[in-house]
Amino acid sequence: MNLKHYAVAGLFALSATVPAVASAAGDAEAGKAKAAVCAACHGQNGIAQIPMYPNLAGQHEQYLASSLKAYKNGQRKGGQAAIMQGQAAALSDEDIANLAAYFASLPADGE
């Protein structure tokens, strides 16, 4: 292999580790402490009891974080967006990362 092949292989190896680092940003225990208010709609274990509310347990951490940020920034509309915008408005970026880590750590089946 020549130097070009090593460089390409190195870039692939580096890109494979970036998502793992990015998804490890939140603190699930800190998120658990913040999640009490979420339980009213999304359930104690992240499984909603009311069908119109989504389950949060087992969702991808990055999806949860980007969704909360979109609500906070007023970028998500429709449905229950007005409620979620109010809830997300008070969250810091750290809170959002922690909540996302917490709900992502829960089993999707609620058990």
CB atoms within 10 A of CB 68: 22
Please tell me the distance from the alpha carbon of residue 52 to that of residue 42, in angstroms, as a whole number: 10
Please indicate, yes or no, if residue 57 is contained in any of the structural domains.
yes
Residue 75 belongs to domain spanning = 26-105
Q: Name the token pair of 6.
A: 């090593």
User: Which pLDDT does position 6 carry in this prediction?
Assistant: 44
Please indicate, yes or no, if residue 5 is contained in any of the structural domains.
no
Please indicate, yes or no, if residue 61 is contained in any of the structural domains.
yes
Instruction: Give the total number of structural domains in the chain.
Output: 1
CATH number of the domain residue 54 falls in: 1.10.760.10
pLDDT, one tens digit per residue, over 4-21 is: 544 444 444 444 444 444
User: Which pLDDT does position 14 carry in this prediction?
Assistant: 44
Please indicate, yes or no, if residue 17 is contained in any of the structural domains.
no
**What is the pTM (predicted TM-score) of this model?**
0.76
